């Protein structure tokens, strides 16, 4: 967006305020109850004026989805900057810890991104796929770099059924990976397991009195994921 004029800068600030207020309403009201009229009221605009910035509730949800994915991606990138690139297990752990810290700090936005779908809303792929794949992209980089460095303990037993192997081969080609099918399969497991662990914690599935500190279990899960992927 061109921000060289006062009008453009004012519009950009209003858009930021809409997202900020929208995320506040997301936390207090939930995604299904988001209202542009309520956002306009808190912004100090008449309800008709907000539609010059955001066309609909679905557009607001898309802005919140993209903002959440970008914020999470930025948190993961910042964490990775503090880890040696040759420390593959450390990189995977940094991704997990940064994602957990963000999820616990922003449970409503985490629920919007990774929880139950919002009734009647479908995120537009052309706007959300890029931001939404930043974290898994960092995970892919870890296992691909580890493979190229010879730092993966991996058996070469064939994968079955053959259709699964074909799927993995297609994924490898699309991502330009040299890592073999079995490592890609393990990496996909690590991705799914990481967010499964986070969802259990964020959504309170362990129960209030099960764990003294859920961080202890999460660290055990991280160690298991590193081992499952085969990082040396």
pLDDT tens digits, 83-97: 999 999 999 999 999
Read off the CATH number of the domain in which 192 is found.
1.10.357.10
Instruction: Provide the residue range defining the domain that includes 161.
Output: 80-229
User: Which residues neighbour 83 within 8 Å (Cβ) at sequence distance 6 or greater?
Assistant: 90, 91, 94
Q: Does residue 27 sit within a domain?
A: no
Q: Does residue 20 sit within a domain?
A: no
98: tokens are 């940064």
Full-model pTM: 0.94
Mean pLDDT score of the chain: 95
Q: Does residue 24 sit within a domain?
A: no
Give 222 or 232, the one with higher predicted confidence.
222
**Nearest Cα to Cα of residue 142 among 99, 110, 203, 183:** 183
- What are the tens digits of pLDDT across the range 148-179? 999 998 887 889 999 999 999 999 999 999 99
Q: Does residue 52 sit within a domain?
A: no
Q: Does residue 43 sit within a domain?
A: no
pLDDT confidence tier of residue 4, bands split at 50, 70 and 90: confident
Q: Are 67 and 78 in contact (CB under 8 A)?
A: no
**Is residue 1 over pLDDT 60?**
no
Number of compact structural domains in the chain = 1
Q: Does residue 182 sit within a domain?
A: yes
């Amino acid at each position: 967006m061109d921000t060289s004029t006062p009008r453009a800068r004012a519009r950009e600030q209003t858009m930021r305020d809409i997202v900020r207020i929208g995320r506040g309403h997301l936390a207090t009201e939930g995604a299904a109850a988001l209202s542009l009229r309520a956002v306009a009221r808190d912004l100090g605009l008449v309800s008709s004026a907000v539609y010059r910035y955001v066309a609909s509730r679905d557009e607001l949800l898309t802005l919140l989805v993209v903002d959440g994915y970008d914020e999470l991606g930025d948190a993961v990138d910042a964490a990775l900057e503090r880890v040696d690139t040759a420390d593959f297990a450390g990189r995977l752990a940094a991704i997990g810890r940064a994602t957990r810290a963000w999820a616990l700090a922003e449970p409503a936005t985490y629920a919007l991104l990774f929880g139950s779908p919002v009734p009647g809303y479908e995120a537009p792929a052309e706007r959300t796929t890029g931001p939404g794949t930043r974290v898994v992209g960092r995970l892919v980089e870890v296992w691909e770099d580890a493979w190229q460095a010879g730092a993966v303990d991996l058996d070469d037993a064939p994968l079955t059924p053959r259709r699964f192997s074909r799927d993995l081969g297609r994924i490898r080609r699309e991502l330009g990976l040299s890592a073999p099918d079995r490592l890609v399969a393990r990496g996909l497991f690590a991705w799914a397991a990481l967010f499964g662990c986070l969802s259990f914690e964020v959504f309170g599935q362990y129960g209030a009195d099960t764990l003294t500190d859920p961080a202890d279990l999460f660290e055990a899960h991280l160690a298991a994921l590193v081992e499952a992927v085969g990082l040396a």
